Structure 1
Amino acid sequence: MISSELDAAGVLDPSLRDAYRTCREINARDGKTFFLATRLLSPAQRPAVHALYGFARRADDILDEFDDSRGDEVRAQQLQLFSTQLFNCLVENQDCADDPTLTAVVHTARRYDIGWQLFDDFLASMRMDLTVTDYPDRTALERYMYGSAEVIGLQMLPILGTVGPREDAAPFAAALGKAFQLTNFLRDVDEDLRRGRVYLPADELAVHGVDRDVLSWCQTTRRIDSRVRRALREQHDVTRGVYEAARPGITALAPVSRPCVETALKLYSEILDQIEEMDFEIFSRRASVGKGRRAAVAGAGIVKAWGARLRHRKG
């Protein structure tokens, strides 16, 4: 399967093929839902998406790698080294053949004209996770989300393709990346709190009488405070609005890519539905879409994807 994808993508150099294979393995192992979504793309598109995932995963792994008291210092050094290596390969045209993740992502960036700035913005947000544990307002949170989520949509856009100018579709792609991350923030309040972080605007929580201490009480007791429920409902409504702002952008994408993005939007927005249906009891259970439902939605997406590819070939 991977060989046929690389053939379709025109990746013929043996060492480059090995680099893309490494990224695909990382995606299949660590990002199962995302990997499933790539199956709805054409074979020619998949290696580039795997390369972007492999790069992002490398940065995440650096953040999670060190647990000792010097951890943040070492993480910062490793992230800076990773950033410098990418810059040297992508901008300075230095050799990165000894690093398969960088080899694949640099090839993808050059092929699809994905600029260095988007990668730099992503890594800047990763560095924020080393020192920032709370966000005083939405402006501060959106600064973080631009690099951690919106740029992912912008990096994906040239791979997905558009029916018009890329810049017309860019705001929708950025909004969808933001919607996905806001969904994660709501679902993972408990998990993030255990890691010492709160990814919700402090001033908006404060309107409902909620602060870190109140959230910690909910975590400890595994109960939801009524104030927290009201605050989460407000965040839920904001997130729903971001999905609605992103949705029209699907028609701006190349037809062969629409089933993949439609499926991803549907599955992620259903996580948001689950959070609401469980009445925001996020400290006692984790919102998720069941395997059967995921399979059904993905199956419908596969049928649409096949149809889109067939029409594309005939066209």
Structure 2
Amino acid sequence: MIRAVESEPLVSAQVLAAYSYCEAVTAGQARNFAYGIRLLPAPKRRAMSALYAFSRRIDDIGDGALADEVKVTRLEEARALLGRIRAGAVEEDDTDPVAVALAHAARTFPIPLEGLDELIDGVLMDVRGTTYETWEDLKVYCRCVAGAIGRLSLGVFGTEPGARGAERAPEYADTLGLALQLTNILRDIREDAEGGRVYLPADDLAKFGCSAGFRGPTPPEGSDFAGLVHFEVRRARALFAEGYRLLPLLDRRSGACVAAMAGIYRRLLDRIEREPEAVLRGRVSLPGHEKAYVAVRGLSGLDARHVNRRTIRRRV
């Protein structure tokens, strides 16, 4: 059983300032994530912001305009900093607020920091231009950049005492991360293509006549683009159904946080399914009022019960 700490000793002004910086980064750059973590108590919310801010730094290195060899150097510097955090070598007066906040979060909660090493490995795959022949190949990447985040988050959330099946919580958190990442990949097909990146498996692209890629607002000539999208949507839905088994293992507010974040992505998936070619015209997103509605449903447990009923019906 994984058990997160619910309370903490008095936090110093320096650490609180570091957390405030991370929360500002989260609010400014991760609206979907921010909608979910606002449902958490303050210690968990701050810890999640620290995880996000460090992860954002790693992602920004990979997405930036630096030369590839410079990106590799910066990523290894981030790995070295992570090693210092793991070793307890980052003091409260360190000039890097993200490092200060993450170090405090790691002392407060049983966060498996090796997940951030996996994230660095995944971003290195991007820098090196890795492509994926099969879904099994792509899963390796998704586990690095998203499944690992699910497992890191579980270190903050913890599991409910006595929850049956709690030993499988990391597996479910990992699977839910895969579901979110595959949704991201579908949403960002054109943007990634314009940046020279292709994430969908080559064998899936070939199956639906889409190997030519996606650099414009219309699908490749003669392709079954809608068929490709619907195929990947079904795969994502299966991952969501499996990953949602995590929710009963969490306390109410942590479960609400996960349900809210996952619920936003499931609704994005619904929109993509209804109008597949929309992802070639621009980024599909949800308006703020709909995200707020999803957050309320997550807090009430409605989304979790809805998914559980659908899962039960499929099995029957």
- Between 275-284 and 244-253, report the one with greater CA deviation: 275-284
- Between 159-168 and 16-25, report the one with greater CA deviation: 159-168
Q: Specify whether residues 153 and 11 from structure 1 end up closer, same or farther in structure 2 by C-alpha distance, changes over 3 A only.
A: farther
User: How much does 1:188 deviate?
Assistant: 0.7
1:141-186 C-alpha deviation (Å, 9 max, x unpaired) = 1111111000101011121121237532111111111111100001
Q: Which residue of 2 aligns with 1:228?
A: 225
Whole-Å separation in 2 of the counterparts to 1:303 and 1:201? 37
Q: Which residue of 1 aligns with 2:209?
A: 209
Q: Which residue of 2 aligns with 1:312?
A: none
Q: Structure 2: any 5+ residue segments left out of the alignment?
A: 1-6, 303-316
User: How much does 1:51 deviate?
Assistant: 0.5
In the alignment of these two chains, the number of paired residues is: 292
**1:1-315 equivalent positions in 2, closer than 5 A:** 9-67=8-66, 71-91=67-87, 93=89, 95=91, 97-163=94-160, 164=163, 167-211=167-211, 213=212, 215-216=213-214, 219-220=215-216, 222-223=218-219, 225=221, 226-301=223-298
Higher relative contact order (CA 8 A, sep 6+): 2
Q: Specify whether residues 134 and 114 from structure 1 end up closer, same or farther in structure 2 by C-alpha distance, changes over 3 A only.
A: same
- The answer to whether the 8 A contact 1:45-1:159 is kept is yes
Q: Specify whether residues 154 and 284 from structure 1 end up closer, same or farther in structure 2 by C-alpha distance, changes over 3 A only.
A: same
Q: Specify whether residues 194 and 102 from structure 1 end up closer, same or farther in structure 2 by C-alpha distance, changes over 3 A only.
A: same
- The answer to whether the 8 A contact 2:15-2:101 is kept is yes
Whole-Å separation in 2 of the counterparts to 1:228 and 1:128? 26
- Between 227-236 and 171-180, report the one with greater CA deviation: 227-236
SS where residue 49 of structure 1 aligns?
helix
- The answer to whether the 8 A contact 2:134-2:201 is kept is yes
- The answer to whether the 8 A contact 1:23-1:50 is kept is yes
User: How much does 1:52 deviate?
Assistant: 0.4
Whole-Å separation in 1 of the counterparts to 2:278 and 2:65? 32
Q: Structure 1: any 5+ residue segments left out of the alignment?
A: 1-7, 306-315
TM-score by length of 2: 0.85
Whole-Å separation in 2 of the counterparts to 1:285 and 1:118? 31
Q: Specify whether residues 18 and 166 from structure 1 end up closer, same or farther in structure 2 by C-alpha distance, changes over 3 A only.
A: farther
SS where residue 280 of structure 2 aligns?
coil
Output the aligned Cα RMSD: 2.3
1:59-95 C-alpha deviation (Å, 9 max, x unpaired) = 122223334xxx1111111111111122023126354
